[in-house]
Amino acid sequence: MKNTISAYKTMSAIEKKLSAVAARSRGIIPYSTTADGRFDDTGEDSICWWTNGFFGGMLWQMYNYTGNSLYKELAEDIEKKLDENFMLPWGMDHDSGFKWLPTAVAHCKADWNEKSHNRGIIAAENLAGRFNPNGNFIRAWNDSGDGSRVGTAIIDCMMNLPLLYWASDATKDPRFSQIATRHADMAMKHFVRSDGSAIHIGVFDPNSGEFLRSEGGQGYATGSSWTRGQAWAIYGFTLSGLYTGEEKYFETAKRVADNFILQSAKRPDMGIPIDFDQPLDCKREDSSAAAIAACGLIELGKTNEKYYNAALDLLGFLCENRLSLDENTDYLLWNCADSFWSNREQMTLIYADYYLIEALLKLVGKDLPIFTPTKEGK
């Protein structure tokens, strides 16, 4: 991506494709695509799947950008469908931010209404209720009642914190952002290593709150640097900085970004790998990590050209080499990976497409602030 003009051109090609995709996607909540490149439906076969907000988020971004009411109609349908999730306690986890920021909260930001506002508050209450005050962490996942995951937090949760910042502003109740900043401070301490890389999973004693160990999760191994986790950290700490104005979060985001830029440069012949520690001859990539990192780097780049240029490089590579503008397929980015050890090799992922669109719209100054605060700080 050379500059804003190339971002405009790419967005106009994407808009042409997405208007055709939307017209054939009524009632669908996609996660990935089938072998013929068409959307599959409803995440990983569950209304509670963590990615179920992203297609809605794409639709809100496109509605905000174009004014085409078809996008809004489809986004509202998805938001209503997700109400089923509220009644399934096993499916209410820390991903409330990923699910309801790009749907209910995005709806509020595009077009305020009481129902969407209430959905956002219910989701935020649930997220805040997962806070462990002794360990200062938000519990990530549920378990089957055996307590095996009570003490688990993951780096991805940095991206769910904006739901809490939004809720504090919406209710004038500081408890939500107090929880968010306590989690962010904990993550600065336990999730970011001295070289600027981030761990994926942190395990705590849920009673004493003591940090016990890190685990590998979706990356190559325990101790490695899963690139999507690095990207969640870059964008997530930046977001905490934007909502609170606290320099320490920007500084942390920059440390992770510096390491991301350094590690990426070691593989000039490919996109972003799934894990910076995977063997050098392993060429498997994760385009989603590149798109998410680009969003964070653009925000950091508003005060430092180095990060802005790094974002342009990532987006340039994606748009020139990994973007499908074929109107017969539903996905945008290919060469994504849900996890290093997944059987599915390279795939498409709806959130890769969401963050690509958000990044390109940021470049042209036309993004709906879904994860970021509004100009009024909300």
Active site residues: 95, 156
How many other C-beta atoms lie within 10 A of the C-beta of residue 284? 16
Residue 358 in contact with ligand GLY, rule: CB under 6 A: no
Closer CB to ligand GLY, residue 17 or residue 228? 228
Of 293-352, binders to ligand GLY (CB under 6 A) are 338
User: CA 187, CA 215: separation in Å to the nearest integer?
Assistant: 14
Of 13-72, binders to ligand GLY (CB under 6 A) are 50
Closer CB to ligand GLY, residue 65 or residue 229? 229
Closer CB to ligand GLY, residue 1 or residue 233? 233
Alpha helices in the chain (DSSP H): 4-23, 54-66, 69-81, 83-86, 96-100, 106-110, 114-128, 161-171, 175-190, 227-244, 247-264, 287-300, 305-321, 350-363
> What SS3 class is residue 211?
strand
Q: What is the DSSP string of 264-333?
A: HTT-TTSS-BSBTTS-TT---B-HHHHHHHHHHHHHHTTS-HHHHHHHHHHHHHHHHHSB---TTS--SB
> Taking the complex as a whole, how short is the minimal distance between the CB of residue 338 and ligand GLY, in angstroms?
6
User: CA 371, CA 235: separation in Å to the nearest integer?
Assistant: 9
Residue 94 in contact with ligand GLY, rule: CB under 6 A: no
> Taking the complex as a whole, how short is the minimal distance between the CB of residue 157 and ligand GLY, in angstroms?
9
> Taking the complex as a whole, how short is the minimal distance between the CB of residue 217 and ligand GLY, in angstroms?
9
Closer CB to ligand GLY, residue 156 or residue 277? 156
> Taking the complex as a whole, how short is the minimal distance between the CB of residue 203 and ligand GLY, in angstroms?
17
Residue 285 in contact with ligand GLY, rule: CB under 6 A: no
User: CA 58, CA 327: separation in Å to the nearest integer?
Assistant: 17
Query: How many residues make contact with ligand GLY (CB under 6 A)?
Result: 5
H or E element in which residue 154 lies: strand 152-154
Residue 96 in contact with ligand GLY, rule: CB under 6 A: no
Closer CB to ligand GLY, residue 108 or residue 154? 154
Residue 93 in contact with ligand GLY, rule: CB under 6 A: no
> Taking the complex as a whole, how short is the minimal distance between the CB of residue 8 and ligand GLY, in angstroms?
29
> What SS3 class is residue 32?
coil
Tell me the residue nearest to ligand GLY as measured from the CB.
156
> Taking the complex as a whole, how short is the minimal distance between the CB of residue 218 and ligand GLY, in angstroms?
6
Of 152-171, binders to ligand GLY (CB under 6 A) are 156
Binding residue for ligand GLY, selected from 33, 85, 116, 218, defined by CB under 6 A: 218
Closer CB to ligand GLY, residue 103 or residue 218? 218
Residue 275 in contact with ligand GLY, rule: CB under 6 A: no
Of 128-157, binders to ligand GLY (CB under 6 A) are 156
Binding residue for ligand GLY, selected from 130, 228, 254, 362, defined by CB under 6 A: 228
- CA distance from start to end of the chain: 30
User: CA 359, CA 371: separation in Å to the nearest integer?
Assistant: 12
Are 235 and 223 in contact by the 8 Å Cβ rule? The answer is: no
Q: Who's near 300: CB < 8 A, 6+ residues apart?
A: 234, 238, 250, 253, 254, 257, 307, 308
User: CA 259, CA 171: separation in Å to the nearest integer?
Assistant: 38
> Taking the complex as a whole, how short is the minimal distance between the CB of residue 339 and ligand GLY, in angstroms?
7
At residue 377, what are phi and psi to the nearest 5 degrees? 90, 15
Residue among 212, 232, 86, 85 at smallest CA distance from 156: 232
User: CA 147, CA 150: separation in Å to the nearest integer?
Assistant: 5
At residue 44, what are phi and psi to the nearest 5 degrees? -85, 55
Closer CB to ligand GLY, residue 218 or residue 372? 218
Task: Please report, as ranges, the residues that interact with ligand GLY according to CB under 6 A.
Answer: 50, 156, 218, 228, 338
